[in-house]
Amino acid sequence: MDEKYKDGYVEKNYMEAFDGSGEEIGEEVLNYFEELFSLEMPLGRMMKMMPGMFKYAKRGKKYRKNLMNFAPEMMPMMKDAIKDAVGLGNKEERGV
């Protein structure tokens, strides 16, 4: 083929860009979505949020007070997360 026409889009096509079958790729993407949009709050996820809150609180007294306003809303979530992590089986599967 003439060098001039050798753009990527004629050399390869999208079917060669994936490793798995359509079903497998679909499954991978769905798993990703499931994790992304999950409303569950396992301890691991909770822990990932801690540095952000810590950084915020470190800024001063006013900020700490502001953060404490949210404590009543956050406590039940935290309790659930810890209970889940301590109480139930396979930790790896729960992302802890």
- List 1, 13, 71, 72, residue binding another protein (CB under 8 A): 13
What is the radius of gyration, based on Cα positions, of the chain? 23
**Residue whose CB is less far from another protein, 54 or 79:** 54
The DSSP result for 17-46, as a single string, is: S-SS-HHHHHHHHHHHHHHHT-----HHHH
Smallest distance, another protein to C-beta of residue 34, A: 5
Tokens of 56: 């915020």
Establish if 59 lies at the interface with another protein (CB under 8 A).
yes
Smallest distance, another protein to C-beta of residue 84, A: 19
Establish if 63 lies at the interface with another protein (CB under 8 A).
yes
Tokens of 67: 């953060």
